[in-house]
A and B are shown apart, each in its own frame.
Chain A
């Protein structure tokens, strides 16, 4: 139980994490910094899932199940993204995302 803390407080916290992740993806030039932004975005969405699961008794199990799926997907995404970053670093000796311009049209 969380007393008088209502649903909008949790949604605002989730929105804050989402926006922080989006700005992080936009402003970091380090590829791993971009990856951290993705993690923040997924966590913001997960807070919304769990908050709705708690405040809507009809979907108390579903919200947690979706949150667990998102956590597993985030782990897979982090693994594959870090492999790509390591490969990129082996080829360019840099993790600057601005250095990836071979495919520039």
Chain B
């Protein structure tokens, strides 16, 4: 077993176990802690797949931002130190049945499909998937139309520079609008209490 294989199985088992424990634990604080491990393990999977920037963004945005938001939500809505909102046994059984059936379907579909043999070329991966290539794709500098064996989909004379600048701008403005809206929605509305205290 090579080092990469050992790393994959360690990180994948950590991630999968954490994802399972998010479902199985009843305490919402423990679920948040297991979610932290699941998200960090996902970042490790991205690093194993050679996507350095996506892994770093996962660590910064998810583990550092979204999970802190979730933990703050848990703390602000805590009704007691150990409140259990349990679903019924029938709901659990039905959901587990549906989940197992869904996973069996996905697993059979994955294993039965003959994936095209695509060996990742180790020599050029640093020149094609690094942060600079990603930034050039966002800015539309680099010609990133596929150059492989699908010429009918992308005929060479129609090959243009694909830019993700407009989706990037849309997504950033969307994030700004959403954050302003969230701050407006979640603002403290205690006027009645304040007026009673003043009276």
- A residues lining the B interface (CB < 8 Å): 1-13, 15-24, 26-33, 35-37, 39-40, 43, 46-47, 50-51, 53-62, 64-65, 67-69, 71-76, 78-80, 82-87, 89-90, 93-96
A47 touches B120 (CB 8 A): no
**B178 proximal to A (CB < 8 A):** yes
Chain A residues near B148 (CB-CB < 8 A):
57-58
Chain A residues near B92 (CB-CB < 8 A):
27
Chain B residues near A27 (CB-CB < 8 A):
23, 87, 91-92, 95
Chain B residues near A18 (CB-CB < 8 A):
106
Chain A residues near B8 (CB-CB < 8 A):
2-3, 5, 9
A69 touches B51 (CB 8 A): no
Chain A residues near B86 (CB-CB < 8 A):
29
Contact with A along B72-92 (1 / 0, CB 8 A): 111011010000011100011
CA distance A18 to B106 in the complex (A): 10
Contact with A along B157-175 (1 / 0, CB 8 A): 0000000100100011011
Q: Knowing A51-B49, A57-B128 are in contact, say whether A71-B70 is a contact too (CB < 8 A).
A: no
Q: How many A-B residue pairs have CB under 8 A?
A: 250
CB distance from A70 to the nearest CB of B (A): 10
Complex: chain A residue closest to B43, CB-CB: A43
Q: Which of B22, B137, B185 contacts A24 (CB 8 A)?
A: B22
Looking at A9, A22, A31, A76, the one whose CB has the most chain B CB atoms below 10 A away is A76
B99 touches A95 (CB 8 A): no
Complex: chain A residue closest to B176, CB-CB: A76
CA distance A56 to B121 in the complex (A): 10
A40 touches B85 (CB 8 A): no
B5 touches A32 (CB 8 A): no
Contact with A along B50-80 (1 / 0, CB 8 A): 1101100110011001100110111011010
CB distance from A89 to the nearest CB of B (A): 5
CB distance from B96 to the nearest CB of A (A): 7
B49 touches A46 (CB 8 A): no
Looking at A22, A33, A75, the one whose CB has the most chain B CB atoms below 10 A away is A33
Chain B residues near A32 (CB-CB < 8 A):
28, 32, 70, 73-74, 77
CA distance A56 to B147 in the complex (A): 12
CA distance A82 to B80 in the complex (A): 19
CA distance A104 to B4 in the complex (A): 52
Looking at B32, B70, B77, B103, the one whose CB has the most chain A CB atoms below 10 A away is B77
Given contacts A1-B4, A95-B77, A95-B85, could you give 16 more A-B pairs where the C-beta distance is less than 8 Å?
Answer: A1-B50, A2-B7, A4-B2, A11-B110, A12-B106, A12-B107, A16-B19, A46-B58, A54-B120, A57-B121, A61-B134, A64-B129, A68-B57, A76-B174, A87-B186, A89-B77
